[in-house]
A and B are shown apart, each in its own frame.
Chain A
Amino acid sequence: MTTPTVLPDRAVAAAGAAASPGGPGRPGRFALFGRLRYLYISPAVVFVAVLLYLPFVWTAYLSLTTYDGLGSAEFTGLDNYVRMFHDEALLTSIRNTLLWVVGTTVLPVGLGLLVAVLSYDLKGGGWFRLPFLLPYAMSGAGLGLIWGFILQPDGMANQVLTFFGMPGGDTEFLQDGPRNTIAMIVVWAWQQLGVNMLLFVVGLQSIPRAPIEAARIDGASGWRMFRHVIWPLMRPLTTVVFGLALVASLKTFDIVWVMTQGGPGRTSETLAVTMYRDVFVADDYGYGSAVAVLLTTITGLASYVYLRRQAGREEG
């Protein structure tokens, strides 16, 4: 790993250096401009340093304190983290977050892949895909607002079930955990299928035709074609789409906050909602910060493990 030859910018730099020895890469002809170049990158660095990294470090520090927003923070070491083990609401929240992770990586990504594979080379495939795209552009908050109304006990969802003579017309979708979380995951899947499908369609349409034609001549079709030819070719893209869904699901906030505010009785909270509630409802800044650190750790670990595993497979 000492020679990262694959890094594209190194490759570009190398190509540039080869093309013009003594070019702007070395302080030579353009030495005068050497310092000025930092002016171009400094706005970006200042923005991320002041508004992303500084708060990040600050939150990490606050997680080791007891602080109610008034006066000054009192250093209490790992107390907040110890407290987590006895916090029922937090444990429920972790379970719900895991449900979100499983639900969103399986439902919208899986169904999105299915719709993409079924439609990508059909004539008029765009029209078949339109129904799935319409919900996507709606925001998480808009989705929560609208579905909050639909899923009320006397709301439309129950009326529709009754209308079609189906059982469960008096379901209280948002009342008890974990049913409320599952209901919201289904709503989320309804919305998110579109973007996953779109990413897969773009991937499918850009895979090379030659191997597919060759396999077709060899008599492959349907499932076998998909399993042995198409699927391996789109592995890198699938890695990205799954990874995106995984990380996003860990941070679920908008839809839950708007639909249930994590309730009733904290039964539908996710870690992001728990954090928000601890800080801005309970004024428990230190503990809320600790929950944020926990969420960050989980997200970081999940990404790391996922990418490691994927990288291992690509090589193996």
Chain B
Amino acid sequence: MRARRLNGTVRRGVLVVLGLAWLFPTYLIVANAVRPATEYDATDAVRPPTSMGLFDNISEAWERTAVGQTLFSTALYAVVAPLLAVLVGALAGYAIVVLRLRHGFAWFVVIFAGTVVPFQMLLVPLFIGYSKVSLYDNRLGLILVYTAINVPLAALVMRNFFGNMAVSIYEAARMDGASTFRIFWRIYVPLSASALAAVFILEFTYVWNDLLFGLTLSQTETVRPVWAELSALTTDVYAGTPVPIALAAGLVVSLPTVVLFLATQRLFTRGLTLAQF
């Protein structure tokens, strides 16, 4: 018994030490995002801020960069594309598992193998092709790409989820004369709300954090997503963006995903592992 208690103490000790080491950069980031830009001094960055400059820093960031406008586009992409992907994926899962599509497994492999494609294989043709059909630097173009890359995961999870639901649900509903689509929309979708939400959250986070496609397929401030805009700050930094302003901008834009993630940890990990098994 005593050995186990000692064991617990040692474990807590190691965790606290590691945890503090991990928290320290977080502290540095927050402290210096809060510090008024005029008081920032790299030689004194460890000192806690003495006054509150966070909101001034944020509004300054809004003035210096197109963060406001690009943030709106990002929000649009991060909501619409995963919604579409989840719907399309659920329809595919429904066709394969519930409607027993002939060669269902082969169809599933066709869809899911899409995740294996590294995005680097997509960039050049998308750039060239999009330019030709005027989807380059177009919000619709980005929504389509974000949807496509998220369909395979949605299809995988929804196929697995529907597979665990009783087949008798479908048969009973058919007996009652419900149409195939009605059964999907009124029975299968509501019953799988938790899985749909998990996939949506994962994909929302993914699209929100995207840099690569935003960088490649957009140009103007009205279309470009927020990280593509903010990533330019590191190159322009010597053009004089004060550190607290860049940090404040980075924090604010990260906030939605941080909150979403911390609030839905369980769902999040279930989503991640759902995808694996």
Contacts and interface: CB of A to CB of B under 8 A. Distances in A.
Partners in one complex: yes
Interface in B4-52: 4, 7-8, 11-12, 14-16, 18-20, 22-23, 25-26, 28-29, 32, 42-46
A250 to B, nearest CB: 8
Contacts of A198: 265, 268-269
A131 B22 contact: yes
A51 interface: yes
Interface string A115-130: 1001100100000101
A24 B100 contact: yes
B92 A137 contact: no
Interface stretch (A9-17, A78-86, A88-96): A9-17
Contacts of B22: 131-132, 134-135, 190, 193
Nearest to A26: B100
A276 B8 CA distance: 49
A272 B230 CA distance: 20
Given A41-B92, A139-B227, A258-B211, A148 B234 contact: yes
A55 B261 contact: no
B23 A131 contact: yes
From A48, A50, A303, residue with most partner B Cβ within 10 Å: A48
A7 B118 contact: no
A119 B211 contact: no
Interface string B47-62: 0000000000000000
A271 B120 CA distance: 9
Given A128-B12, A146-B250, A55 B171 contact: no
Interface in A242-285: 250-251, 253-254, 257-259, 261, 271-272, 275-276, 279-280, 285
Q: Give chain B's interface secondary structure class.
A: helix
Interface string B107-129: 11011001011111111111111
Contacts of B125: 54-55, 58-59, 62
B167 A15 contact: yes
Contact of A289 (B124, B235, B251): B124
Q: Give chain A's interface secondary structure class.
A: helix
A254 B227 CA distance: 10
Contact of B120 (A12, A23, A292): A292
From A141, A144, A198, A299, residue with most partner B Cβ within 10 Å: A141
Given A41-B95, A135-B25, A285-B124, A51 B3 contact: no
Size category, B interface = 35 or more
Interface residues of A, number: 108
Interface in B133-152: 144-145, 147-149, 151-152
B106 to A, nearest CB: 11
B11 A122 contact: yes
A15 B216 CA distance: 48
Interface string A35-72: 01110110111011011111110111010000001000
A9 B26 contact: no
Contact of A199 (B104, B107, B254, B269): B269
A75 interface: no
A56 B7 contact: no
A149 B124 contact: no
A41 B8 contact: no
A154 interface: yes
A168 interface: no
Task: Please provide the 4 A-B residue pairs with the shortest distance between their CB atoms, ordered closest to farther.
Answer: A139-B209, A40-B95, A51-B148, A55-B125
Given A13-B104, A145-B231, 14 more contacts: A9-B108, A38-B95, A41-B91, A41-B107, A47-B144, A62-B124, A132-B22, A133-B262, A139-B257, A141-B230, A150-B29, A221-B4, A258-B211, A279-B123
